[in-house]
Amino acid sequence: MIHAGNAITVQMLTDGIAEFRFDLQGESVNKFNRVTIDDFQAAIDAVKADQSVQGLIVTSAKPTFIVGADITEFGTTFAAGEDAIVDWVLALHNTFNAFEDLDIPKVAAINGVALGGGFEMCLVCDYRVMSDKAQVGLPEVKLGLIPGFGGTVRLSRVIGIDNAIDWIATSAPRKGAAALKEGAVDAVVAHDQLQAAALDLVKQAIDGRLDWKAKRQEKLQPVKLNAIEQIMAFNAAKGVVFAKAKPSQYPAPKLLLDALEKGSSLSRNDALVEEAKAFAKAAVTPQSEALIGLFLNDQVVKKTSKKYEKGAHEVKQAAVIGAGIMGGGIAFQAASKGTPIIMKDIGNAQLALGMDEATKLLTKQVERKKMKPAQMGETLARIRPTLGYDEFKDVDIVIEAVTENPKIKDIVLRETESKVGPNTIIASNTSTISITRLAQSLERPENFVGMHFFNPVPLMPLVEVIRGEKTSPEAIATTVVLAQKMGKTPIVVNDCPGFLVNRVLFPYFGAFDQLIRDGADFQQIDKVMHNFGWPMGPAYLMDVVGIDTGVHGAEVMAEGFPDRMQLGFKGAIELMYEAQRLGQKNDVGFYKYELDKKGKKAKTVDPTAYDVIAPSVTAEKREFDEHEIIDRMMVTFCNETVRCLEDNIVATPAEADMAMIMGVGFPAFRGGPCRYIDQVGVAEYVALCDKYAHLGKGYEAPQMLRDMAANNKKFYG
């Protein structure tokens, strides 16, 4: 044994070739944490000291290669400030350079996922062989960062600037064929041939049949482009990248381009300094803090969901009642992930609508080459349309997706309960109606649970699993596991009107109505909130949701929380509804909708909208300061999120933040409402609440926040 550490072992295999093996003890995956980094340098020193080693293959003892850096260690490092981060990164560069500069050929045998620092480890090797089951990539931009272990420097020299920008800026991992085509790896082989292929490459290099020193030299020199070619490449890249990611919202892509542009004409070591500086600049941004926090929150949510697996019943057969757009979407989602599902409605026309929706969604998958026609046929075969309950006795779970009307739901739920087995779980897809209230008409309320999908079902990742007063742990666990199986992220919440997401969203619409009442232009509000980071402003969002849906939801919420959600005046949204302007449903709402050249509904300005909402405006129309618009919209939204934590509707800030990002499109780079309050400063945020408290109870700071401010506490850290 040449080296035996806590993360790396080095041992001789054959003919002067040693295996440099990553195997981080006590962990299920390899990652670059402090233990691995320390051991990396020790292993390099051991190889240098052993003159018998003529070549290396770099392997992993785990199913993944290396998943990247240990993100949980970033907090302490990043808190030390920009200069300290630069010093930390340059020390890492020294270690990676020391490995790259070993005067022997090195081949990475990539057996599984190699991302971020894991793929950067592969890039310091002279050759890369990849299993046909592996994936490689540099996803750091997703965390508001740029590659920090030499990825910008080495990848741009291996595959060219254009390709490197695409790899890093999009964060998309590559499978073998794509990586080979662009030159990021040298070979892709069957999984069981990986080690043999890596050994063969090393032998060829040792024997002089491959010029491995020339391969290495390419990474030590400037990029092979003249000054004019470089200017053209970066100008083109800036146009594409900045169109997708505004530097004010996502600074990392700009910092990436800056580092690449400065480093492309420099030698490796000097270029790495530019990378270190850019990495440090990205690391101290609030966007990076938020996006790293989001990644960690996602892990919390996944771990929480996994805990439910033990208490769940297997779902071999599901059913959905209501074959509209929602029911068809649910049926598609279940079937496409392998769960057979019965789809029931009261008429053939309704069933046809549901099947058409599922067929349309599957056809799109085929057109995008995400599914083969044969798979489409198999998936459709898992959906069985029916008008009766004959097959319902053997169903494990029934998802009710009928009209959002409590009387209709009561009838359907009672009827369903009488037709299913005693252990069948019934889940309602209601978006606002209390699960405890709906359970009152059932004989087995312990089997009743909320399972709130968001529209459109295939695109929205969140499912709220709602616990009623009498819902059993088994019903919750089974619904959580089914949601996971359907490819969704379930978050368990306790019951109240609107549950978590809609309870928080409707005060946001209430703030919108109040701004219009006070003389704000809805188009200005939309523009400001879109620039703040929302996918669309509140007027446009209401048009997309459906103004009739919005009004109905607002009525439910006002009844549930009259002190905060009863407007006390007829707002613009209600006036739109009375004028039968329903948004995209009938092509006219706050905006007018016409088909564009691609056949999609495009919004256009409709001056008559201002006449419709004029009765709600009680103040002189004026241009608002954008900060006032942001503050008024966000205070009600964030306050209600905190109240959901106070009321134990949602268990943790992590789950609350994830739900808002996945459920309503809260700006990801702001990390969620709790993270947003932290970044504003809790005391400063409470002062903001006090400033607008005269507008109503929804603007008043929750007691939880006042206590946190008094004790200098934050939601995170």
Residue 532, SS3 per DSSP: helix
Q: Decide if pLDDT at 711 tops 90.
A: yes
CA of residue 355 relative to chain centroid, distance:
29
Tens of pLDDT along 463-496?
999 999 999 999 999 999 999 999 999 999 999 9
Q: Confidence class of residue 313 from pLDDT cuts 50, 70 and 90?
A: very high
Between CA 237 and CA 243, with CA 240 as vertex, the angle to 5 degrees is 135
Residue type, 492: V
Q: Which of 93, 191, 313, 452 is catalytic?
A: 452
502-648+651-710 carries CATH number 3.50.50.60: no
Residues in the chain: 717
Query: What pLDDT is stored for residue 140 in this prediction?
Result: 97
Query: What pLDDT is stored for residue 598 in this prediction?
Result: 84
Query: What pLDDT is stored for residue 420 in this prediction?
Result: 96
Count CA atoms within 13 Å of residue 72 on its CB side. Answer: 7
Tens of pLDDT along 528-581?
999 999 999 999 999 999 999 999 999 999 999 999 999 999 999 999 999 999
Query: What pLDDT is stored for residue 547 in this prediction?
Result: 96
CA of residue 664 relative to chain centroid, distance:
12
The percent of the chain in helix, strand and coil, each rounded to the nearest 5, is: 55, 15, 30
Query: What pLDDT is stored for residue 71 in this prediction?
Result: 93
Active site includes 191? Answer: no
d(CA 597, CA 224): 42
Query: What pLDDT is stored for residue 240 in this prediction?
Result: 81
Count of beta carbons in the 10 Å neighbourhood of residue 624 = 17
d(CA 173, CA 161): 17
d(CA 377, CA 633): 46
Q: Please state the pTM of the whole predicted model.
A: 0.92
If you average pLDDT over residues 305-331, what whole number do you get? 94
Joined tokens for residue 605: 């300005």
Tens of pLDDT along 491-505?
999 999 999 999 999
If you average pLDDT over residues 607-611, what whole number do you get? 96
Q: Confidence class of residue 224 from pLDDT cuts 50, 70 and 90?
A: confident
Residue 59, SS3 per DSSP: strand
- CA-closest candidate to residue 219, choices 140, 164, 141, 177: 164
- CA-closest candidate to residue 151, choices 232, 219, 62, 230: 219
Query: What pLDDT is stored for residue 86 in this prediction?
Result: 97
Helix (H) or strand (E) holding 353: helix 348-367
Count of beta carbons in the 10 Å neighbourhood of residue 627 = 9
d(CA 512, CA 496): 23
Instruction: Say if residues 127 and 76 touch (Cβ distance below 8 Å).
Output: no
Between CA 170 and CA 176, with CA 171 as vertex, the angle to 5 degrees is 105
Alpha helices in 596-648 (DSSP H): 608-613, 626-646
Tens of pLDDT along 288-303?
999 999 999 999 999 9
- CA-closest candidate to residue 545, choices 485, 611, 501, 491: 501
d(CA 398, CA 386): 14
Gap between the terminal Cα atoms of the chain: 43
Query: What pLDDT is stored for residue 617 in this prediction?
Result: 95
DSSP 649-709: SSS-HHHHHHHHHHHH---GGGT-HHHHHHHH-HHHHHHHHHHHGGG-GGGSPPHHHHHHH
Instruction: Say if residues 353 and 324 touch (Cβ distance below 8 Å).
Output: yes
Residue 463, SS3 per DSSP: strand
- What proportion of the chain, given as a percentage, has pLDDT over 70? 100
| DSSP letter, residue 24 | -
Cis bond before residue 139 (omega within 30° of 0):
no
Query: What pLDDT is stored for residue 537 in this prediction?
Result: 97
Query: What pLDDT is stored for residue 33 in this prediction?
Result: 96
d(CA 131, CA 538): 47
Q: Confidence class of residue 689 from pLDDT cuts 50, 70 and 90?
A: very high
Residue boundaries of the structural domains of the chain: 3-284, 317-495, 502-648+651-710
If you average pLDDT over residues 215-222, what whole number do you get? 95
If you average pLDDT over residues 454-459, what whole number do you get? 91
Look up the CATH number of domain 3-284: 3.90.226.10
Instruction: Say if residues 654 and 690 touch (Cβ distance below 8 Å).
Output: no
Query: What pLDDT is stored for residue 493 in this prediction?
Result: 98
Burial of 619 (0-12, 13-18, 19+ CB in 10 A): exposed
Q: Confidence class of residue 601 from pLDDT cuts 50, 70 and 90?
A: confident
Look up the CATH number of domain 317-495: 3.40.50.720
d(CA 468, CA 208): 71
Query: What pLDDT is stored for residue 143 in this prediction?
Result: 96
d(CA 700, CA 564): 10
For residues 136-156, one letter each, b for 16 or more C-beta atoms within 10 angstroms of the residue's C-beta and e for the rest, the string is bbbbbbbbbbbbbbbbbbbbb
Tens of pLDDT along 332-383?
999 999 999 999 999 999 999 889 988 999 999 999 888 899 999 999 999 9
Residue for token digits 């990029």? 223
The per-residue pLDDT of the chain, averaged, comes to 95
Q: Confidence class of residue 225 from pLDDT cuts 50, 70 and 90?
A: confident
- CA-closest candidate to residue 477, choices 457, 489, 499, 492: 492
Q: Decide if pLDDT at 398 tops 80.
A: yes
Residue 98, SS3 per DSSP: helix
Q: At what angle do helices 252-263 and 161-170 cross, to 10 degrees?
A: 160
Q: Confidence class of residue 236 from pLDDT cuts 50, 70 and 90?
A: confident
Q: Confidence class of residue 525 from pLDDT cuts 50, 70 and 90?
A: very high
Q: Decide if pLDDT at 231 tops 80.
A: no
Query: What pLDDT is stored for residue 238 in this prediction?
Result: 82
Q: Decide if pLDDT at 241 tops 90.
A: no
Joined tokens for residue 285: 């941004």
Q: Confidence class of residue 389 from pLDDT cuts 50, 70 and 90?
A: very high
Query: What pLDDT is stored for residue 369 in this prediction?
Result: 87
d(CA 440, CA 150): 61
If you average pLDDT over residues 160-179, what whole number do you get? 93
Query: What pLDDT is stored for residue 130 in this prediction?
Result: 98
Tens of pLDDT along 65-123?
999 999 999 988 999 999 999 999 999 999 999 999 999 999 999 999 999 999 999 99
Query: What pLDDT is stored for residue 228 in this prediction?
Result: 75
- Hey, which residues does 82 pair with through a beta bridge? none
Query: What pLDDT is stored for residue 299 in this prediction?
Result: 94
